[in-house]
Amino acid sequence: MARERISSGSTFEQQIGYSRAVIDGDWVFVAGTTGYDYATMEIADDVVA
């Protein structure tokens, strides 16, 4: 199974090869991802949001 990279379009992702998440088989690796909503400038209270 091939790896799937999840990106947000950030310039850092293009410049240094960074991905918000990588899916590899049954595993999901997440980095630098929070529930911060830039539209409201708030962070979610729970992980589901």
pLDDT of residue 23: 94
Measured distance CA(16)–CA(48) in Å, rounded: 29
Residue listed under structure tokens 């991905």 = 19
Q: Report pLDDT digits (tens) over 33-43.
A: 677 788 899 98
DSSP 41: T
pTM for the model stands at 0.52
Instruction: Report the run of H or E that residue 28 belongs to, with start and end.
Output: strand 27-30
pLDDT tens for each residue of 1-48: 688 988 888 787 888 878 888 999 999 998 876 777 888 999 888 877
